[in-house]
């Protein structure tokens, strides 16, 4: 018992090492079978193992849900092909050496295939083998090879579109960084898999051709050995050697055909929700219309004189009964159809007064399925992801999104509200995909032309059949849930300042007090009240400045709160403290900042008019000209891929920012003091006093 435990401990402790050595050992064993002589009983063992492996591979291919579930298939294909060829070489050696002794010379398996399957008639065996080779080589292998080739090309062409779809889900908050990394890796693995299958299918084709050549060599070699070395007549040599050669070829060809079928099943797999058997059963045998029409045609054929009436009419009756049963089965219960009504005699109460939703999403009746878990709707999960991503990026937890139906909307329409006010509308179509043109794509699509509700880009609503073609053309293809989640995320970013109510501000203070209790106690509410703190944060959010670095914000407020009480002035000081983060948010890791400047004469006019309350008022025409010119330049900067950022003196930054925000909401306005010492500026376009 102690020795047994020691052996178990040894293998348990070295499981990883043994598992890692398994593949090289298998390859060495397969190659050894080609050069080392083997007795007949050992050939029987390996032939049986070969058949069992082929059956296992085909079962795995039949029950997998997606191609990547059997990612090792190209390698398995190579190893099984090598094993069959090694067994052919080993059996050839035995047949040629011992074939004159009788049909059992090469083992019981080859003898069984030679006598039981083909009745001991080698002519029949040759015909059966030729038919199997035709089926394997021309039908199965050729079709699988073509599908693998096309799938590999499509997978590679669709990679950019799929990667952009993952980026869209990530930006919408529907997935986190880990899930995005996993999906990108899955897309790359899928392309690698189909590329490997394209090459591995050549193994199957080569194996079929090798089987033909080996059979011919065995027949010719057997006749030569039998007649010249063992003095057999040509008839005796044919009975012994050709029968063994045909049995050997069939033993190798049957598992080869199974592997070819498995390869075809893997590359032709469509869908990821059901295995192959469930798909066929659902899509073929559970349609009453299909079964009914088939039963009718068989019934008509069955009554034609000369036809086998019993067989045709019996099968027609079975199919007709199955069609009738499927057509008359009760529909599944729909929980959403159960409506709970309030008692008619109930009096009005304060409970009937519903508060206004701070953030709401109203859906048309066709979109209700997107929030119904019983119908695989995952819109609610995506909204949770949007809120989570918003909190991680912006710096505070937004209010919950109240989702409800609205029969006044279009059936496929939705509406996003903020404190009861509509801030965004759109349409989404469950089961369809929005193909967004990121710019410069001229490939036509079959679908309904529209615009992306979040960013206004040209797009098309397409069905699932057009999805792969659109991705290959470079379109960003997203489903209806992602469209709505992205729209919601974009609007939440735009209205972040309005989402920061007193409730969210207090929750933020409570959260910071857990991490840095002394810091928050000294500033809020001792130095500034919660309302002033909220106003400072809102002023930052109005200009898309994230408040994640709440410690720096509080420290900047603490530094200036003793002398400044105006929230706008405090926000100006906070911006200077956050300047590295603001610049990085606009430009990324760049150290040289390409900025938009104002012509010096115009800049002096603006400083005199806006920076001094006692100075002359700014002419409305100049203000309108400045804002319109700023919008045009900002659009030009974005078209060439450069951030649109206007650099102005400190005294007029707030006023200029409010002035241009209406016509150029994406234009950022920075003050001179907000440029970090570690960065340099490069003057780009200049706004001038006259066009």
Over range 244-253, report the average pLDDT: 76
Over range 599-612, report the average pLDDT: 86
- Residue 2 reports pLDDT greater than 60: no
Q: Residue 3's pLDDT is what? A: 54
Measure the CA–CA gap between 421 and 429, rounded to whole angstroms.
24
Q: Residue 540's pLDDT is what? A: 94
Buried b (16+ CB within 10 A) or exposed e, 488-504: bbbbbbebbbbbbeeeb
Which of the given ranges, 12-16, 26-30, 357-361, has the highest pLDDT on average?
Answer: 357-361
Over range 155-176, report the average pLDDT: 70
Secondary structure (DSSP) of 195-251: HHHHHHHHHHHHHHHHHHHHHHHHHHHHHHIIIIIS---HHHHIIIIIHHHHHHHHH
Distance of CA 179 to the CA centre of its chain: 10
Q: Residue 615's pLDDT is what? A: 59
Alpha-helical regions (H) of 233-308: 234-237, 243-267, 276-283, 288-302
- Residue 634 reports pLDDT greater than 70: yes
Measure the CA–CA gap between 99 and 456, rounded to whole angstroms.
79
Measure the CA–CA gap between 81 and 28, rounded to whole angstroms.
14
Arithmetic mean of pLDDT over the chain? 80
> How is residue 412 written in tokens?
């496929």
Q: Which residues contact 356 (CB under 8 A, 6 or more apart)?
A: 419, 420
> How is residue 349 written in tokens?
């109460």
Q: Residue 341's pLDDT is what? A: 46
- Residue 9 reports pLDDT greater than 60: no
Measure the CA–CA gap between 186 and 180, rounded to whole angstroms.
10
Task: Say if residue 124 is preceded by a cis peptide, omega within 30 of 0.
Answer: no
Give the angle 308-313-314 at the CA atoms, nearest 5°: 105
Q: Residue 140's pLDDT is what? A: 76
Convert the pLDDT of each residue in 375-416 to its tens digit: 667 888 889 889 999 999 999 999 999 998 888 899 999 999
Which among 96, 119, 91, 106 has a CA at the least distance from the CA of 34?
91
> Coil, strand, or helix at residue 263?
helix
Measure the CA–CA gap between 478 and 467, rounded to whole angstroms.
9
Q: Residue 334's pLDDT is what? A: 45
Which of the given ranges, 11-25, 267-281, 353-367, 423-437, has the highest pLDDT on average?
Answer: 423-437
Q: Residue 525's pLDDT is what? A: 82
The pLDDT-based confidence of 283 (bands split at 50, 70, 90) is low
Measure the CA–CA gap between 523 and 555, rounded to whole angstroms.
8
Q: Residue 680's pLDDT is what? A: 92
Neighbour-count burial of 69, counting CB atoms closer than 10 A to its CB (0-12 exposed, 13-18 middle, 19+ buried): middle
Q: Which residues contact 49 (CB under 8 A, 6 or more apart)?
A: none
Q: Residue 427's pLDDT is what? A: 93
Over range 283-287, report the average pLDDT: 69
Measure the CA–CA gap between 207 and 442, rounded to whole angstroms.
45
The least confident of 284-298, 420-434, 652-666 is 284-298
Which among 579, 565, 493 has a CA at the least distance from the CA of 536?
565
Over range 656-662, report the average pLDDT: 88
Helix (H) or strand (E) holding 122: helix 122-134
> How is residue 101 written in tokens?
């002794």
Q: Residue 595's pLDDT is what? A: 93
Question: Can you list the pairs that 45-51 forms with residues at least 24 positions away whose Cβ atoms lie under 8 Å?
Answer: 46/83, 46/87, 46/90, 47/87, 47/91, 47/107, 47/109, 47/110, 47/251, 48/109, 50/80, 50/83, 50/84, 50/87, 50/252, 50/255, 51/254, 51/255
- Residue 626 reports pLDDT greater than 70: yes
The length of the chain is: 691
In angstroms, the first-to-last Cα distance of the chain is 97
The pLDDT-based confidence of 270 (bands split at 50, 70, 90) is low
Q: Strands of 437-551 (E only): list them.
A: 448-451, 458-462, 476-479
> Coil, strand, or helix at residue 360?
strand
Maximum pairwise Cα distance, the chain? 126
Which of the given ranges, 222-231, 370-379, 582-591, has the highest pLDDT on average?
Answer: 582-591
Q: Residue 41's pLDDT is what? A: 77
Better-scored residue on pLDDT, 636 or 331: 636
Convert the pLDDT of each residue in 81-92 to its tens digit: 788 878 878 877
CA atoms within 13 A on the CB side of 564: 18
Q: Strands of 583-688 (E only): list them.
A: 592-598, 645-648, 668-671, 680-687
Q: Residue 335's pLDDT is what? A: 43
> How is residue 477 written in tokens?
């293809």
359-363 and 402-405 strand pairing? parallel
Measure the CA–CA gap between 579 and 673, rounded to whole angstroms.
8
Measure the CA–CA gap between 300 and 296, rounded to whole angstroms.
6
Measure the CA–CA gap between 363 and 361, rounded to whole angstroms.
7
Q: Residue 363's pLDDT is what? A: 93
The pLDDT-based confidence of 691 (bands split at 50, 70, 90) is very low
- Percent of the chain whose predicted confidence (pLDDT) is above 70: 84
- Percent of the chain whose predicted confidence (pLDDT) is above 90: 25
The pLDDT-based confidence of 67 (bands split at 50, 70, 90) is confident
Measure the CA–CA gap between 315 and 187, rounded to whole angstroms.
46
> How is residue 536 written in tokens?
């400072």
> How is residue 521 written in tokens?
């106690």
Over range 460-488, report the average pLDDT: 90
Q: Residue 1's pLDDT is what? A: 47
Over range 294-298, report the average pLDDT: 83
Question: Can you list the pairs that 288-294 forms with residues at least 24 positions away whose Cβ atoms lie under 8 Å?
Answer: 288/323, 288/324, 288/326, 288/327, 289/323, 291/319, 291/320, 291/322, 291/323, 291/326, 292/319, 292/320, 292/323, 292/324, 292/327, 294/319
Q: Residue 489's pLDDT is what? A: 92
Over range 597-612, report the average pLDDT: 86
CB-CB contact of 161 with 435 (8 Å): no
Better-scored residue on pLDDT, 146 or 534: 534
- Residue 237 reports pLDDT greater than 80: no
Which of the given ranges, 125-129, 171-175, 613-617, 629-633, has the highest pLDDT on average?
Answer: 629-633
The least confident of 8-17, 102-111, 114-123 is 8-17
The least confident of 155-164, 219-228, 603-612 is 155-164
CA distances to 104, 110, 249, 253 from 41, in Å: 10, 11, 18, 20
The pLDDT-based confidence of 242 (bands split at 50, 70, 90) is confident
CA distances to 37, 121, 242, 253, 255 from 103, in Å: 19, 12, 10, 19, 22
Q: Residue 337's pLDDT is what? A: 41
Q: Which residue bears the tokens 């006749």?
A: 223
The pLDDT-based confidence of 484 (bands split at 50, 70, 90) is very high
Convert the pLDDT of each residue in 326-382 to its tens digit: 777 765 544 444 434 445 556 677 766 777 888 999 999 889 888 877 666 788 888
Which among 398, 492, 469 has a CA at the least distance from the CA of 150?
469
Q: Residue 593's pLDDT is what? A: 92
CB-CB contact of 288 with 281 (8 Å): no
Residues paired with residue 669 on neighbouring β-strands, in sequence order: 646
Measure the CA–CA gap between 355 and 394, rounded to whole angstroms.
26
Better-scored residue on pLDDT, 615 or 372: 372
Convert the pLDDT of each residue in 428-466 to its tens digit: 999 899 999 887 788 888 888 999 998 888 999 999 888
> How is residue 296 written in tokens?
């009718």
- Residue 139 reports pLDDT greater than 50: yes
């Amino acid at each position: 018992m102690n020795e047994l435990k020691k052996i178990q401990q040894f293998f348990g402790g070295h499981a990883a090492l043994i598992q890692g050595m398994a593949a090289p050992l298998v390859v060495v064993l397969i190659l050894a079978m080609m050069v080392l002589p083997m007795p007949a009983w050992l050939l029987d063992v390996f032939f049986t193992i070969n058949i069992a492996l082929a059956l296992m591979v085909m079962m795995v291919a039949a029950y997998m849900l997606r191609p990547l579930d059997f990612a090792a298939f190209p390698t398995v294909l190579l190893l099984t092909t090598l094993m069959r060829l090694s067994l052919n070489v080993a059996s050839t050696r035995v047949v040629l050496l011992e074939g004159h002794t009788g049909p059992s010379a090469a083992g019981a398996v080859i003898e069984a295939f030679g006598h039981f399957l083909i009745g001991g008639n080698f002519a029949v065996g040759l015909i059966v083998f030729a038919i199997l080779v035709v089926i394997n080589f021309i039908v199965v292998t050729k079709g699988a090879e073509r599908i693998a080739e096309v799938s590999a090309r499509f997978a590679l062409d669709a990679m950019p579109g799929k990667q952009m779809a993952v980026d869209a889900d990530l930006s919408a908050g529907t997935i986190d960084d880990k899930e995005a990394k996993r999906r990108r890796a899955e897309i790359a693995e899928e392309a690698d898999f189909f590329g490997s299958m394209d090459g591995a299918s050549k193994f199957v084709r080569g194996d079929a051709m090798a089987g033909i050549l080996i059979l011919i060599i065995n027949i010719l070699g057997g006749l030569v050995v039998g007649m010249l070395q063992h003095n057999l007549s040509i008839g005796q040599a044919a009975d012994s050697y050709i029968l063994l050669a045909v049995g050997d070829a069939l033993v190798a060809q049957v598992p080869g055909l199974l592997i070819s079928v498995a390869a075809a099943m893997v590359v032709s797999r469509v869908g990821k929700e059901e295995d192959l058997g469930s798909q066929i059963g659902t899509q073929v045998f559970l349609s009453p219309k299909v079964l009914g029409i088939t039963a009718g045609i068989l019934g008509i054929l069955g009554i034609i004189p000369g036809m086998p009436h019993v067989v045709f009419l019996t099968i027609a009756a079975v199919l007709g009964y199955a069609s009738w049963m499927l057509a008359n089965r009760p529909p599944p219960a729909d929980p959403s159809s159960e409506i709970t009504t309030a008692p008619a005699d109930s009096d009005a109460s304060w409970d009937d007064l519903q508060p206004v939703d701070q953030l709401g999403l109203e859906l048309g009746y066709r979109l209700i399925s997107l929030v119904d878990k019983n119908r695989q709707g995952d819109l609610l999960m995506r909204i949770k992801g949007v809120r989570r991503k918003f909190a991680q990026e912006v710096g505070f937890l937004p209010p919950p999104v109240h989702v409800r139906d609205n029969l006044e909307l279009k059936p496929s329409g939705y509406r996003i509200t903020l404190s009861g006010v509509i801030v965004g509308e759109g349409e989404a179509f469950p089961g369809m995909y929005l193909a967004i043109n990121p710019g410069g794509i001229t490939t036509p699509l079959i679908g309904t032309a529209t615009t992306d509700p979040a960013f206004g880009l040209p797009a098309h609503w397409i069905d699932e059949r057009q999805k792969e073609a659109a991705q290959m053309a470079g379109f960003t293809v997203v489903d209806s849930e992602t469209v709505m989640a992205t729209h919601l995320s974009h609007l939440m970013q735009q209205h972040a300042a309005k989402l920061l109510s007193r409730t969210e501000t207090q929750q933020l203070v409570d959260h910071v007090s857990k991490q840095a209790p002394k810091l928050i106690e000294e500033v809020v509410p001792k130095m500034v009240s919660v309302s002033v703190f909220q106003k400072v944060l809102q002023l930052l959010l109005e200009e898309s400045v994230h408040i994640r670095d709440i410690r720096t914000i509080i420290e900047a407020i603490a530094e200036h709160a003793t002398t400044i009480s105006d929230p706008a002035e405090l926000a100006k000081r906070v911006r200077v403290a956050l300047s590295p983060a603001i610049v990085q948010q606009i430009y990324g890791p760049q150290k040289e900042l390409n900025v938009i400047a104002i012509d010096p004469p115009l800049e002096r006019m603006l400083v005199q008019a806006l920076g001094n309350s006692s100075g002359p008022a700014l002419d409305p025409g100049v203000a309108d000209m400045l804002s319109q010119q700023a919008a045009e330049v900002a659009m030009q900067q974005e078209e060439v891929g450069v951030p649109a950022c206007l650099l102005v003196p400190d005294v007029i930054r707030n006023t200029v920012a409010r002035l241009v925000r209406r016509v150029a909401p994406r234009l950022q306005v920075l003050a001179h003091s907000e440029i970090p010492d570690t960065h340099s500026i490069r003057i780009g376009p200049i706004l001038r006093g006259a066009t």
